[in-house]
Structure 1
């Protein structure tokens, strides 16, 4: 009798069987992710190691690594701080224009990156609407690049943290307050452990998006070698010069760094889930 019930349970399902679903998933990921990424490494190893090393260790390329990675990390950290704050306001408070502000958060998703870059450049040049009132330069500096990367990465943090805040039980905060904890203690002991895994996910998504960003950065960067030249621009330059081996070598370095950092973030998420849950 129990065996018949198990057979009926196996037959009843919204999706196909595990084997078919897993096979389709692996095929889909292989075609869209694994195959294109593997081609970068295949094209790279087909070139002489001396030429690869000469390309990836060029001072101009190394400077672009430092700028792209540093600006992406800075923008991701900024987005974590302010993204959590914005998500908190959108979830915990009710005020006129809430839906409008909530919709504006997704604007960087819908706005073409080139348009975003042109708009930011227009605003923050020395003669721009905002730049003319600032005592320091923003456009055509690393600060402008960080600003553009912050703009395009904010929605990833907000939309990752927002569902966690919506599902968080407010009674836990009330219980913490009733036991004598102040606001800071309640945040550190009750709220922060719940938000940390989602915040790490948002950080990883924002960083990954910023690292490969091209359209919104190329306008505001100024593209000055050794100063404001990002790695994606160098890759595009190599492609325009038909130096496919050089382009794939630089891309492979960025991919390896991205994989390592994302692995570290995933390990941190696993550790926080084990420690706080």
Structure 2
């Protein structure tokens, strides 16, 4: 019950979103995002008088340590200046892997600051681990096979893929990829933030099951990260145990 209420609360938030929102398109680990925003809050609370544009060249020097680069990125992100944006844009294009996620987040933050200033309208930012495109969020969906650890047959695989592509279109969704494994199938899709996610995928499963009843009604949907096989199996096993307990209680 709590899970359903939580889902409905999230859906309501998305439905009430104003038009002026931005979605982080890159796939960035949520822990990295939290670290960025916590560090950003700390820097802003310190209210440093440092002009980060004057020291921006340090970003491009190999001898500059990682913490200093993070500090400069945060500083530039909070500047209502096109020069800061251009500097962040240039750095993001060549940033090493250990700092690139921070560069992407800083560039996004500064872009929103400039938009707010130019349009005189507060901008809203949505970020998830899997990112998105335009006004759509990326979701990782796991369809669970009804027949244990068996892989879907070729005809079942084709049916699921076709129904997935067909079922996304009315919601202005986009199909990106699908993979088939023993016990389950996984897919990456894009859907508008206002789409009724649960209803979309439940309908797809219902359509598929008219031709063999080969998918479980339950599914796994996340926009946080791509799950490993072990993580997926762990979720499925916990769900099975929960259903077993519920059945024993009813008896």
Q: Which has the larger radius of gyration?
A: 1
TM-score (norm 1): 0.23
Q: Which has the higher helix share?
A: 1
TM-score (norm 2): 0.25
Greater relative contact order (Cα 8 A, min sep 6): structure 1 or 2? Answer: 1
